[in-house]
């Protein structure tokens, strides 16, 4: 044993360096493997995100295209169904008052006038009241009462239109006939224009009754939208106005309404669209008479009421085509109302800079 050389022990520092180099030689491939796995997983996740985003774009574009296709299909079907009426009567269909299915004579002037008059009456009544309620709820109403009153107003929007029609026919129209319309007739007799506007016997039903029912129906839409947009006004603007001594009316007129005019007009247009196309409630209380009268107390008809009343009885291609043409006219009226509202909003935005 003495003649053999004993293995020489390495110094501790060198031994540590050897161990570290060995660990490093082993850990480098492991780190590279982990890095490659992480890169692969990130690439897979990125490809998944890109794929989902591509699917999302396709679905949204398909939804938009579907809406346009449905709109185009409605327009084409209405135009196709209106072709016999247009060929037979031409533009005279728009200015003719006669509606006689027995002799196949049709004119849309009375339904068009009834639709516009009732919608106009509804907006005259509903817009000021709706904006006034919204101002009260946001500026003057005590905090504990705001939520109950707001919920009560919104519940009006959930009542079916046929319920409004039944209530209007059996409750509201008799009340108007007994108390309101005779007072209007007597009070307007000395005034030239009003005597014609409120002329005739008090039927109870008529265009004024239909306009009031429509105003009640569109009131929740106008009030809710106006209240929501009034709540978006920054508090600092109103507090600054109150701080310099403005009254509540001055704050509403100079701060709240100018700041929210786009939303208020949008709510009014939504209510107008509902008033133009309402069917069942109007059918119950308007009287369904195909004639034009200067008095708003007289019975009349609207486009939607005419279609609802006579579509099941339409016998013959020309009769059916005349009713479809009324639907096309209502579509055109609604379209131009929306276009006019959009142009008005653009003009207001341009003035505001």
pLDDT in tens, 4-15: 444 454 455 554
Percent over 70 (pLDDT), the chain? 88
Q: What is the mean pLDDT of the chain?
A: 85
31/103: higher pLDDT: 103
* Res. 149 pLDDT band, cuts 50 70 90: confident
Q: What 3-state DSSP class applies to 2?
A: coil
* Res. 351 pLDDT band, cuts 50 70 90: low
CB 99 within 8 A of CB 317: no
pLDDT in tens, 338-350: 888 778 777 766 7
> What count of other Cβ atoms lies within 10 Å of the Cβ of residue 106?
22
Mean pLDDT of 132-158: 87
| pLDDT at 22 exceeding the cut of 60 | no
- Cα distance between residue 227 and residue 90, in whole Å: 46
Percent over 90 (pLDDT), the chain? 41
Confidence at residue 78, expressed as pLDDT on a 0 to 100 scale: 92
Mean pLDDT of 240-246: 88
90 half-sphere exposure, CB direction, 13 A CA radius? 1
Confidence at residue 93, expressed as pLDDT on a 0 to 100 scale: 92
DSSP state of 7: P
Confidence at residue 5, expressed as pLDDT on a 0 to 100 scale: 46
- Cα distance between residue 174 and residue 179, in whole Å: 9
* Res. 31 pLDDT band, cuts 50 70 90: low
> What count of other Cβ atoms lies within 10 Å of the Cβ of residue 296?
22
> What count of other Cβ atoms lies within 10 Å of the Cβ of residue 204?
22
- Going by C-alpha positions, the residue among 287, 316, 314, 317 that lies closest to residue 302 is 287
Mean pLDDT of 311-322: 87
The tokens of 5 are what? 């050389």
């Amino acid at each position: 044993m003495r003649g053999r050389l004993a293995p020489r022990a390495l110094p501790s520092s060198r031994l540590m360096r050897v161990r570290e180099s060995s660990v490093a030689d082993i850990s480098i491939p492991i780190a590279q493997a982990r890095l490659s796995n992480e890169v692969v997983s990130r690439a897979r996740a990125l490809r998944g995100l890109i794929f989902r985003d591509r699917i999302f774009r396709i679905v949204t574009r398909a939804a938009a295209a579907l809406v346009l296709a449905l709109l185009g299909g409605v327009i084409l079907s209405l135009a196709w169904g209106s072709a016999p009426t247009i060929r037979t009567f031409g533009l005279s269909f728009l200015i003719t008052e006669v509606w006689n299915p027995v002799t196949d004579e049709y004119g849309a002037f009375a339904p068009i006038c009834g639709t516009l008059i009732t919608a106009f009456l509804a907006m005259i009544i509903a817009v000021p009241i709706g904006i006034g309620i919204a101002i009260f709820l946001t500026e003057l109403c005590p905090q504990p009462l705001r939520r109950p009153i707001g919920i009560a107003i919104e519940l009006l929007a959930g009542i079916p239109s046929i319920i409004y029609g039944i209530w209007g026919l059996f409750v509201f129209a008799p009340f108007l006939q007994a108390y309101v319309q005779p007072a209007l007739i007597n009070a307007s007799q000395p005034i030239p224009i009003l005597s014609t506007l409120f002329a005739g016997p008090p039927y109870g039903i008529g265009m004024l009754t239909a306009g009031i029912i429509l105003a009640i129906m569109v009131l929740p839409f106008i009030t809710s939208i106006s209240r929501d947009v009034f709540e978006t006004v920054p508090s600092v603007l109103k507090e600054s106005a109150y701080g310099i001594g403005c009254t509540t009316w001055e704050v509403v007129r100079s701060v709240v309404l100018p700041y929210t005019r786009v939303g208020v007009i949008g709510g009014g247009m939504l209510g107008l669209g509902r008033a133009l196309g309402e069917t069942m409630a109007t059918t119950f209380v308007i009287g369904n008479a195909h004639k034009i009268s200067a008095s708003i107390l007289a019975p009349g008809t609207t486009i939607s009421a005419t279609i609802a009343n006579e579509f099941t009885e339409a016998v013959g291609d020309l009769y059916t085509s005349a009713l479809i043409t009324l639907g096309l006219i209502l579509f055109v009226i609604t379209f131009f109302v929306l276009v006019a509202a959009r142009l008005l909003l653009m003009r207001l935005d341009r003035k505001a800079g």
